[in-house]
Amino acid sequence: MTEPTLNIRGFQIFKGSLDGQGQADLLAELREVVAQAPLFSPMTPYGRPMSVQMTSAGKYGWYSDRKGYRYEQKHPEGQSWPPIPRGALALWQGLVSTERMPDCCLINYYSDKARMGLHQDRDEADFSWPVLSVSLGDEGLFRIGNTTRGGKTESLWLQSGDVVVMGGEARLRYHGLDRIRHGSSTLLTKGGRINLTMRVVD
């Protein structure tokens, strides 16, 4: 197993897991996903649109509206979610498991002003499976907190090609994305940041 570059509160950070070619190949696969399952801006349960745009691949997609956070087997337009890109599954197999594949690959797109508030990932049935995160495009300031709200946090910039394994003591820690540095990467022609998170849901 490869060793993480950094370990912050159990978040294992693998800097530059994907090289330039790997990033471009994964991006091409993601463009196919988005062509079949377009990005949308979900509503929070509190009735405000999220600032990120999202879609999913896999058996389940993550979804939110007035009824709450949950997984859905269909895109809001009615079609099934496309298969998870091979380049994403390869990262999962290298860092998490070759026995069980993720059920969901959530794709978040951050344009210039988008952010994600501190939250826990807790809509899955079994927290013994880690969440695997992949960053593409502009750098994003990732914030790591505690297993309850509040307390001291630590932040780090995630760059294109970085992969984070959120398992063990990190699995239920609060985390979020404060802001992106628009134009810090040339991977996406119009700028912005893509974050993939793969999860075992059932």
Q: Which residues bind ligand SIN (CB under 6 A)?
A: 108, 116, 133, 140, 142, 158, 175, 177, 195, 197
CB of 134 to ligand SIN, least distance (A): 9
CB of 174 to ligand SIN, least distance (A): 10
Residue 56 binding partner per list Fe ion, ligand SIN, none, with a CB distance cut-off of 5 to 8 Å that depends on partner kind: none
Question: In the range 104-123, which residues lie near Fe ion by CB under 5 A?
Answer: 121
Q: Give 98 or 115: the residue with its C-beta nearer to ligand SIN.
A: 115
Q: Which residues contact 26 (CB under 8 A, 6 or more apart)?
A: 18, 85, 87, 88, 134, 136
26 half-sphere exposure, CB direction, 13 A CA radius? 27
Q: How far is the CB of 119 from ligand SIN (least distance, A)?
A: 7
**Structure tokens belonging to residue 3:** 């060793």
What contacts 33, CB < 8 A, 6 or more positions away? 55, 57, 82, 85, 107
Name the residue nearer to ligand SIN (CB basis): 37 or 164: 164
Say whether 11 sits in a helix, a strand or coil.
strand
